[in-house]
Chains A and B, each alone.
Chain A
């Protein structure tokens, strides 16, 4: 019998304290106008009033930079992740969807990424479903939703004064058991209210994207003139890739001093010109046009072709933060139009 828990927001610290006995507890905290995940096990004011965190929680599993190993002459010493299990509370369903994409890449059966896997196995994901999407959110249009459960360990719902949580996985059940003393059991009425709120949120999202049409168009429009036009305003900054829940490209560099050093893995972006620069000086993606095309193709053609998943979860961060408003939804709509049967000459 699955346990659900209902706890008042004002008493949330009790839940954190209960969890902190077993886990490190990360939750969204407001800092200088940004909402970021911080360790609140020892203290800290968490916020429930946010659309989404400023930066992406993929940082927990694929950190912005991490040391893989250190070396000293011939000796190599791997750097292992932190021992303690941790809970991330307040991830939105779109970011959790992003993690399922990363799981496909890094938790491959034959070649799993040890660093990613270690972190993933220590994590309990408590997803906070959305009640108030922004016009820039479009998770529904790419197969997601404000209360998607896939990938979560626990689903949490914001009912105004109270938070209710229900376990989705084994790890989720462990978590609920660990904190069950800090709240009451959730009532059927509360669960129904949660469903109502998230259904209303799903209604609010107006964006529609014809994903199959986009894929079909991408299959045959690699050389279309459309790409030359659409890339013009892109400045190549990389914000979209760094904030995207499904982007995972990384770079390996060595930093050494004398005979000692370390190998770092850090985020890289396909939007940077250096990303594909060869040692010979040749760059197969010489301009922003090739790079933007690559990004769209990767998300909406290559990932579906190779992994049967879409590389976009509709979180809207790229739309909100792009300094020049290169809206991926506009790009996709145009792509679908150029590929439509009534437009057989392939022009826009």
Chain B
């Protein structure tokens, strides 16, 4: 039985997959021709089965290169800061206008970037796509990605135009089920799992580089003044890097899953990020990337924030 989301007609999206591809190409071609954008970022074919590859289109005729299928899982918002970062002292040329083919997670990441002043809203044109969930090939068969199964916001919350239905049903699996189960385990078992995962790490930094909200020009792990940590892959150092990076994602991570997918040794990073996301949602009623001008949860406060964790004598 073919799972419903794999069928080319997907009721929850409201548009067939081939139709999405057609509309996306038309939109990109129009935007480039009318010079509303200078560059359009989307998905193109890959040389390895079960994947897609980002394409950067400047010529309206090249809009034909865009594709849309169940393997469009890369978070394209990752590329945005580099077009708007640049040398702040050297802003002679005006900023480019960039168009982005954005699923829910890409759109939310773009919103986080806009809220953090990395991308000016007026220079970004979001072609939103209601996403029915992406897959990866496991033993030759497409399997829906874990974060897509748990996705709460498959359509980008902020967009300039939308392909597909705005009201798209979220993923079937409850989002925080796994971390809730994990938290029931005793402390030692949690440590054992965490340590085992961390011992695989080779510190290639793929997780950091594919993450759209990791855009620091100098990452804390490579700073030398002050020197936070060493370069070795000794477990203690690896853990330090991950603790720092994961905690920096608190309230900012949009759960696109790119970090876990990019990891060449398959470390389960999402579980711990989910823990942070759950706490931010439960304690401060905040989820990253849902609206422009959201205040970051760790920069504001409420007088009645929970403080049950404070030690009393």
Decide if A and B touch, CB cutoff 8 A. yes
Let me know if A233 is at the binding interface, CB within 8 A.
Answer: yes
Beyond A274-B222, A325-B51, is A237–B210 a contact (Cβ under 8 Å)? yes
The contact of A32 among B56, B208, B234, B266, by CB within 8 Å, is: B266
Let me know if B1 is at the binding interface, CB within 8 A.
Answer: no
Let me know if B262 is at the binding interface, CB within 8 A.
Answer: yes
In the complex, the answer to whether A323 meets B210 with C-beta atoms within 8 Å is: yes
Residues of B near A65 (CB, < 8 A) are: 231-234
Q: How many A-B residue pairs have CB under 8 A?
A: 100
**Across the two chains, which residue of chain A brings its CB closest to B39?**
A232
Residues of A near B204 (CB, < 8 A) are: 237-239, 242-243, 269
In the complex, the answer to whether B48 meets A136 with C-beta atoms within 8 Å is: yes
Let me know if A169 is at the binding interface, CB within 8 A.
Answer: no
**Across the two chains, which residue of chain A brings its CB closest to B208?**
A237
In the complex, the answer to whether A266 meets B232 with C-beta atoms within 8 Å is: yes
Interface residues on B, range: 35 or more
Beyond A233-B53, A320-B48, A329-B47, is A55–B264 a contact (Cβ under 8 Å)? yes
Let me know if A187 is at the binding interface, CB within 8 A.
Answer: no
In the complex, the answer to whether B265 meets A55 with C-beta atoms within 8 Å is: yes
For the complex, what is the distance from the CA of A242 to the CA of B206, rounded to whole Å? 11
Residues of A near B265 (CB, < 8 A) are: 34, 54-55
Let me know if A255 is at the binding interface, CB within 8 A.
Answer: yes
The contact of B74 among A229, A242, A323, by CB within 8 Å, is: A323
Residues of A near B196 (CB, < 8 A) are: 32
Residues of A near B202 (CB, < 8 A) are: 55, 64, 242
In the complex, the answer to whether B231 meets A272 with C-beta atoms within 8 Å is: no
**Across the two chains, which residue of chain B brings its CB closest to A136?**
B48
Q: A64-B232, A320-B48, A326-B53 are in contact. List 18 more A-B contacts (CB 8 A).
A: A32-B196, A55-B202, A55-B264, A65-B233, A232-B79, A238-B206, A239-B204, A242-B204, A243-B204, A251-B231, A266-B233, A269-B204, A272-B205, A319-B47, A323-B258, A323-B261, A324-B74, A325-B52
Measuring CB to CB, which residues of chain B are less than 8 angstroms from any residue of chain A?
A: 46-49, 51-56, 74, 78-79, 196, 200, 202-206, 208-210, 218, 222, 230-234, 258, 261-262, 264-266
Instruction: Provide 30 A-B residue pairs closer than 8 Å at the C-beta atoms, listed in order of the A residue.
Output: A33-B266, A54-B265, A64-B203, A64-B233, A65-B234, A136-B48, A229-B56, A232-B79, A233-B53, A233-B56, A235-B79, A235-B206, A238-B205, A238-B209, A239-B262, A242-B204, A242-B264, A251-B231, A264-B231, A264-B232, A272-B222, A323-B206, A323-B210, A323-B261, A324-B54, A325-B47, A325-B52, A327-B46, A327-B47, A329-B47
